[in-house]
């Protein structure tokens, strides 16, 4: 754990002190507002016992972060800010000193608001100056949050006061961030992000002594829940990654990534899977899917009910999938040029294999960004007909409004990432931690509470298994991508970037395009994805899907979930939504109808349309070796 000077406590001391303060605050509030309930307060010795258990758990949590950092980045490398809470505290110390919340007038207002809040909350229980001894049948508290949805947070006034006070404080602190003077907009966004994450970590729901649900479970199980949680935490420390699901329940090629097919081509960077047809005829133009190499390809083939791949095959498409190889030292020199060349290689292999002039291509997330560059290069080379249509799933080319990920691309962050990339590649756990942090309440603290504190069993959830199946990234590509796209936004400047020796100009792309965005996407915000149509010269169909970066894409029609919006293109996403038509269910069927409009000719599903048949040399069964490499 990083050490600080004598005037600044270590992260471990901070959490210990936080526990003490929380416990003392609870006792003071009870004494001040609930003297008649003072006998219900645990004795000091009991509180110390709870505190010791809580401190052990918090210490193990901090040890998890420390060992994760050490395992991923080496003992001599600086720890990324979001790994070590002490680093966050140190970075923000100067900023917080400027916060208006420290102004005596604001402090006085916060105190008065807090007193008013306490009186109003206590009145719901018939206590305090406004209570008059008449408790409400069902307390109605002014602030709600899913972390405090359990009835236990409202059954006793002390826990209602604790979480309502926390929500008030969090609200005021976040408001104060916008009033800090002397910060650039980038620094202000970083402060907002850091503040949200620190506040999430400080939530009383994360501490055994302050969480009534955990207290009840601990009493019921005689502490077995905390013992089980500590054992799990020890295992996670060893593996260097937070566990989200029961991974033993999933087996590649058996109950996940199990659509039948063959690996028909491979290079050092990718394997190309062709899936076996299930219809007598198929669309003449085959489909190739380029998934993001930040994750495993089987997000689009999770299980038979959710699989986009299986569904597309059943609709009469010849489907190819690129399975990217997780980076190791042998891929240290891989750059964006190599991914562009890989996309062109896959397209050419499919064209030659099936004897077709062009393919339909899908690019998901970063692979969609790269597909745009690939299309520009093909256009300049007079080879645009190699791609009959292009589908962009949650893909960005204009990164001006790229969301919270832009917070990780200043010079300091890029330097940390550079130093963290051992052997020419970035450990996939680094990116997993980053994405988890973007939704810390859902992807970090929710699991801390459920599985470390409450001791609940892990769910067998395929999406979470995929989320934890991390991939390593080539360091040169990763740094250039963050710098050139996220930080400097060069991809939309004609000729500012090049790949494979050819300048990139997105305006040259005339390929018919289908652009899909997720309305609640926090990784590729919809207003950022929407801008893609501004740079394409061909016909564009834009579709806004319900939900986010994953569920907005992986939404089979049979599920009957969410919705999507279609309409005429407009100057802004807001204007598009105002004039759009909402449709229930999945956008997949809309996409298929659009794809068939690009050419509906069909051919028999025989010969090399059915991989692995007589005379067809293939490498191995799907899902192949690369997806299993760590």
Q: 78, exposed or middle or buried, with CB in 10 Å at 0-12, 13-18, 19+?
A: middle
Between the alpha carbon of residue 312 and those of residues 171, 288, 370, 521, the distances in Å are 46, 11, 23, 24
Report how far residue 249's alpha carbon sits from residue 271's, in angstroms, rounded to the nearest whole number: 25
**Catalytic annotation, pick one of 365, 377, 397, 454:** 365
Question: Alpha helices of 442-525 — where are they, by DSSP H?
Answer: 446-447, 462-468, 475-481
| 373 contact partners, CB below 8 Å, separation of at least 6 | 336, 340, 491, 497, 499, 504, 506
Q: 630, exposed or middle or buried, with CB in 10 Å at 0-12, 13-18, 19+?
A: exposed
Between the alpha carbon of residue 609 and those of residues 258, 267, 422, 592, 600, the distances in Å are 19, 21, 42, 20, 17
Is 365 catalytic? The answer is yes
Report how far residue 127's alpha carbon sits from residue 120's, in angstroms, rounded to the nearest whole number: 9
Q: Cα angle vertex 18, ends 14, 23, to 5°?
A: 155
Element (H, E) at 282: strand 281-283
Residue 29's nearest CA partner among 45, 14, 17, 40 is 40
Token pair in block for residue 303? 């299980």
Give the three-state DSSP class for 470.
Answer: coil
Token pair in block for residue 101? 């919340």
Between the alpha carbon of residue 438 and those of residues 152, 196, 208, 403, 574, the distances in Å are 28, 10, 24, 10, 24
Token pair in block for residue 380? 């300049």
Report how far residue 253's alpha carbon sits from residue 300's, in angstroms, rounded to the nearest whole number: 13
| 148 contact partners, CB below 8 Å, separation of at least 6 | 163, 167, 205
Give the three-state DSSP class for 609.
Answer: helix
Catalytic residue positions? 365
């Amino acid at each position: 754990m990083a050490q600080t000077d004598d005037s600044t406590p270590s992260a471990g001391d901070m959490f210990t002190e936080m526990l003490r303060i929380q416990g003392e605050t609870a006792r003071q509030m009870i004494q001040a507002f609930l003297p008649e309930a003072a006998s219900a307060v645990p004795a000091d010795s009991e509180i110390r016992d709870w505190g010791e258990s809580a401190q052990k758990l918090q210490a193990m949590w901090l040890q998890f972060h420390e060992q994760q950092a050490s395992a991923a980045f080496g003992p001599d490398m600086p720890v990324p800010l979001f790994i070590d809470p002490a680093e966050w505290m140190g970075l923000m110390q100067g900023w917080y000193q400027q916060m208006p919340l420290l102004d005596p007038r604001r402090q006085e207002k916060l105190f008065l608001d807090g007193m008013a809040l306490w009186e109003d909350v206590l009145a719901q229980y018939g206590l305090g100056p406004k209570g008059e001894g008449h408790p409400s049948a069902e307390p109605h508290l002014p602030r709600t949050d899913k972390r405090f949805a359990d009835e236990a947070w409202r059954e006793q006034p002390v826990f209602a006061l604790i979480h309502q006070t926390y929500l008030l404080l969090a609200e005021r602190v976040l408001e104060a961030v916008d009033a800090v003077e002397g910060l650039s907009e980038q620094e202000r966004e970083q402060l907002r992000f850091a503040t949200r994450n620190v506040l999430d970590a400080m939530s009383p729901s994360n501490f055994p002594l302050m969480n009534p649900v955990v207290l009840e479970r601990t009493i019921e199980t005689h502490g077995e829940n905390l013992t089980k949680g500590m054992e799990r935490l020890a295992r996670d420390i060893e593996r260097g990654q937070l566990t989200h699901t029961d991974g033993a329940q999933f087996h590649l090629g058996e109950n996940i990534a199990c659509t039948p097919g063959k690996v028909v081509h491979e290079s050092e960077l990718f394997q190309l899977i062709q899936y076996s047809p299930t219809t007598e005829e198929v669309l003449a133009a085959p489909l190739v899917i380029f998934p993001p190499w930040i994750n495993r390809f089987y997000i689009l083939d999770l299980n038979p009910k959710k699989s986009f791949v299986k569904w597309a095959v059943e609709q009469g498409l010849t489907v190819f999938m690129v399975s990217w190889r997780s980076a190791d030292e042998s891929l240290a020199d891989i750059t964006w040029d190599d991914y562009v060349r890989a996309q062109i290689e896959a397209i050419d292999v499919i064209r030659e294999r099936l004897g077709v002039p062009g393919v339909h291509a899908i690019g998901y997330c970063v692979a969609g960004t790269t597909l745009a560059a690939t299309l520009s290069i093909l256009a300049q080379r007079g080879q645009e007909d190699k791609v009959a249509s292009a589908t962009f799933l949650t893909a960005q080319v204009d990164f001006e409004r790229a969301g919270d990920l832009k917070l990780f691309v200043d010079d300091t962050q890029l330097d940390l990432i550079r130093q963290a990339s051992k052997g020419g590649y970035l450990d996939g756990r680094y990116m997993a931690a980053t994405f988890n942090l973007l939704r810390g309440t859902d992807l970090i603290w929710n699991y801390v509470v459920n599985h470390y504190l409450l001791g609940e069993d892990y769910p067998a959830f395929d999406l979470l298994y995929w989320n934890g199946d991390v991939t390593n990234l080539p360091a040169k590509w990763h740094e250039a991508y963050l710098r050139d796209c996220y930080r400097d936004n060069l991809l939309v400047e004609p000729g500012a970037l090049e790949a494979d020796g050819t300048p990139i100009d997105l305006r040259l792309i005339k390929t018919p395009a289908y652009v899909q965005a997720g309305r609640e996407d926090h990784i590729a915000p919809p207003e950022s994805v929407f801008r893609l149509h501004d740079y394409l010269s061909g016909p564009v169909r834009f579709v806004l899907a319900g939900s986010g970066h994953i569920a907005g894409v992986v939404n089979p029609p049979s599920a009957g979930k969410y919705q999507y919006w279609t309409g005429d293109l407009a100057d802004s996403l807001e204007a598009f939504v105002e004039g759009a038509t909402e449709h229930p269910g999945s956008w997949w069927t809309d996409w298929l109808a659009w794809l068939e409009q690009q050419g509906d000719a069909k051919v028999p599903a025989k010969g090399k349309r059915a991989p692995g048949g007589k005379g067809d040399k293939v490498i191995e069964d799907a899902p192949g070796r690369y997806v299993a490499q760590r």
